Amino acid sequence: MIITGGWVATFDEGIGLIKNGAVLIEGSVIRDVGEKKRILLENPREEILNYPKSIVMPGLICAHCHAYGAFARGMPIKTEPPTRFGEILERIWWRLDKKLTLDDVYYGGLVTAIEAIRHGTTFMMDHHASPYSIRGSL
């Protein structure tokens, strides 16, 4: 399979951005990255997915997230704003943890995963941990 785009972002200092680039994929392995014209000529029988107005790039990595916190966005704080990490845990996260059900944790993770995929993130490390987390959620 060949994926072509208006640009290919390699994140490799030696290659950089490739205008009218292409990526050759065999199974689960990226076999080649380069100019679209060359890759198409060298691989005439490959299936082509053409996205001329797109940037083709590797998936992004999120090494630290709290997926269950998806429902905390915009949540008002009804106490003094925290000023230290311990206060953040006590006044916000641990209070939220005490209220979450298994379904809440599941759907919070699902919402976070869908949002990540839509924005190009293909790996996430979820740090769901709390002394008050619901049994079975970790």
pLDDT in tens, 13-36: 999 999 999 999 999 999 999 999
pLDDT tens digits, residue range 91-107?
888 888 888 899 998 99
Instruction: Give the model's pLDDT for residue 69.
Output: 82
Show the tokens assigned to 77.
Answer: 């704080």
Comparing 92 with 44, the larger pLDDT belongs to 44
Q: State yes or no: pLDDT of 134 exceeds 90.
A: no
Per-residue three-class SS string for 57-108: CCCEEEEEECHHHHHHCCCCCCCCCCCCHHHHHHHHHHHHHHHCCHHHHHHH
* pLDDT at 137 exceeding the cut of 80: no
Phi and psi torsions of 111, nearest 5°:
-60, -45
Length of the chain: 138
Residue 79 predicted with pLDDT over 90 = no
Q: Are strands 60-65 and 121-126 parallel, antiparallel or unpaired?
A: parallel
pLDDT of residue 20: 96
Q: Is the pTM of this model over 0.85?
A: no
Closest CA to 50 of 4, 19, 7, 8: 4
In a 10 Å sphere around its CB, with 0-12 CB exposed, 13-18 middle and 19+ buried, how is residue 95 labelled?
middle
87 CB contacts (<8 Å, ≥6 apart)?
none
